[in-house]
A and B are shown apart, each in its own frame.
Chain A
Amino acid sequence: MPTQEGGVVGEHRSLWPALAVPGVAWLLLFFLAPFYAIFAVAMGRIDPIFLQPQPEWNPYYWDPSSFRDVFREIFTGGALGDTFLRTIAYVGTASALCILIGYPVAYYVARRAGRWKGLLLLLMLAPFWINYLMRMLAWVNMLDVDGQLSRLLVALHVLPEPRDWLAGHHETVVLGLVYGYLPWFILPLYAALDRIDQNVLEAARDLGASPFKAFLRVTLPLSRQGILAGTVLIMLPMFGDYYTPNLLSGSPRTRMIGNWIDFFVNSTVSAGGQGAALTIVLMLFVALIMVYYLVSVARATREAKS
């Protein structure tokens, strides 16, 4: 017996909000309030005697000097500015490589794998449940001076002598990022490719398109949203990564933004304000990517409807 509001007779409407209360309260206390704390610390002052950040909880008294410091560092070409450019270069290169490697894999598993599909999907998902640090540890073992990779390359006479891949090489860090985040790119793309209706492709073939053309004109455009979703999904964590460059190189030459945040917040108490300010800059950066993604999804949905 549905009532006019769409509920049911005998329904206590207050039950639903009551069920949601503990979760919402938890998120307010331990997600939203901490978020605000970043702003309070970034806009606070440094205690002149103890050299400790003093958070300012009242926005009326906010003092943006930490921001000024961070922005000056970034735009006057200081170490922070270099780090910013390097981070963008790493994330850009790694994302491009993810697309190049990930697309064929996702395409094959979603559309061409036949009876192997189940097994491939399982193997494709396996890295999700292997700890990221363990996957990096595996490469630390292999890339060491006396690790398997150097031995193999020396045995094949590619290298005259073992090379220490972990001594601050850009390519090692980018390899680590690609290895680490590629599964997260492949999955949404796989989902998008899997959803494409076979009939659409058959229609294209019936109308005379070659398989290659059908791919180029039908499959590729239909999977664009999947590529975008995957790229956004890996860019968000990559911009905040600090452990990959630290584990695979550890050299200042390969620092990313995350390394500075980690350093400011975890190692130097007096730089807490700068750490918080840099976190906000990172958040704005990430929010920009998110907004671009949401706008393009909205546009795609509108186009699909019209």
Chain B
Amino acid sequence: MTTEAFVARPRHGAIARIRGWLANPWAQPRGLAVFTWLYIAWSLIPVLIAVQFSFNAGRSRSTWQGFSLRWYVSDPDLSVLHDPSLRLSLIQSLRLAGLTMLVATPIGVALAIGLARWRGRPAQAANFLMLFPLVTPEIVMGVSLFLVFTYLYDFIPLGTWAQFLGHVTFSISFVVVIIRGRLFAIGRDYEEAAMDLGASQIDALRRVLLPMLAPAIFASFMIVFALSIDDFVISQFLSTGAETITIPVRLYSTARLAPSPALNALASLMLFATLIAITLAGLFLRTARRRQAARGGSAVQDLAKLEF
């Protein structure tokens, strides 16, 4: 039985349709389409509901009592703006993400260029080392950083500095992956042309390669920002108390003990910050593609590859 046989012979009634579908579910992917949209709904609606209730006028997280910004700004004690524990975690998350972004991106860009051009055994070893953080379970990294700051680098106290060092460590590899993708797409021709025309190696790097990489570098800044804001395990293992609790750690410790719409408001703020950063990263990557007039694909697909 082929697809055409079913299409050609018109049948009536739902039962016939279902029978046709059962005999050949791949003919018309309507069932698949429904399944996919249901999955998408299941994956996103709970989060949308959580965001909705951050705007609830009442204290409930399941009964809608009208729209208000009470849990963001107006409640004098419990809003994100006025509850010190929520406000501090927001500040801590933004501070860590900003700092991590500024340090991890330049290190990662340099490492990506170095590894893409440097040949030989040490380069292979360095490449191997760079890939490891990408496959190490976060809990292993969390435990290892906790132990090293407790017993070996005990001059660095647990807390903000340890968290910052940990965040940079897992971010570097992501930057390398993004930049390396662009480096392969650009190739060496432009640099070599510049050097044939008399530019020194450093000039070729500075005046040809880096400008061509600029969009990918901006995208890296944004993605590191998002990764750092998003991190939970490492922040938790390296936190010491009230001032070093980031938003995800706050969600973890408060979600079951003392949930309130203010917690949803805090989570929503984090969501908005991440989405802005990722949208910017997508736009930058699209610029990079446009400039090079690469064929096919889209910025979304770039991001898809990156995450893998």
Contacts and interface: CB of A to CB of B under 8 A. Distances in A.
A9 B195 contact: yes
A22 interface: yes
Interface in B227-257: 229-230, 232-233, 236-237, 247-248, 251-252, 255-256
Contacts of A109: 36
B62 A265 contact: no
Given A24-B129, A191-B305, A282-B137, A55 B151 contact: yes
Nearest to A106: B36
A27 B46 CA distance: 38
Interface in B88-115: 107-108, 110-111, 113-115
Contact of B132 (A31, A123, A183): A31
Interface string A107-127: 111001100001011111111
Contacts of A242: 139
A120 B36 contact: yes
A92 interface: no
A265 B308 contact: no
A243 interface: yes
Contact of B307 (A2, A28, A147, A187): A187
Interface stretch (A71-79, A129-137, A153-161): A129-137
Contact of B165 (A30, A105, A148, A282): A30
A37 interface: yes
A48 B248 CA distance: 37
A112 B129 contact: no
B130 to A, nearest CB: 7
A279 B140 contact: yes
Interface stretch (B10-18, B75-83, B269-277): B269-277
A131 B270 contact: yes
B251 A34 contact: no
Contact of A55 (B117, B152, B169, B172): B152
Nearest to B202: A15
B35 A133 contact: no
Interface residues of A, number: 107
A204 interface: no
B204 to A, nearest CB: 9
A227 interface: no
Contacts of B152: 33, 37, 40, 55, 57
Q: Is the interface of B mostly helix, strand, loop or mixed?
A: helix
Given A1-B196, A134-B47, A265-B146, A237 B137 contact: yes
Interface residues of B, number: 101
A135 B113 contact: no
B224 interface: no
Nearest to A249: B256
B35 to A, nearest CB: 5
Interface string A54-75: 0101000000000000000000
A240 B140 contact: yes
Interface string A230-274: 000100110111110011001000000010011001100000100
Interface in A7-27: 8-12, 15-24, 26-27
Contact of B46 (A40, A113, A139, A144): A139
A15 B119 CA distance: 12
Contact of B139 (A17, A22, A113, A282): A282
Interface of A is mostly: helix
Contacts of B27: 211
Given A125-B303, A129-B275, A140-B259, A210 B32 contact: no
Among B141, B146, B165, max chain A CB count under 10 A is at B146
A148 B169 contact: no
Contacts of A296: none
Interface string B1-41: 11100000000000000000000111101001101100110
Given A11-B195, A108-B36, A133-B251, A265 B143 contact: yes
B133 interface: yes
A222 interface: no
Contacts of B192: 2, 8
B147 A240 contact: no
A299 B132 CA distance: 22
B50 A211 contact: no
B262 interface: no
A108 B36 CA distance: 7
A10 B130 contact: no
B178 interface: no
B133 to A, nearest CB: 6
B148 A37 contact: yes
Nearest to B231: A131
Contacts of B40: 120, 123-124
B278 interface: yes
16 contacts: A2-B192, A16-B118, A23-B110, A31-B129, A105-B35, A121-B304, A123-B40, A125-B307, A135-B46, A137-B255, A137-B264, A148-B62, A188-B308, A240-B138, A266-B236, A282-B139
User: What are the 3 closest A-B residue pairs judged by CB atoms, nearest first?
Assistant: A23-B111, A20-B114, A19-B114
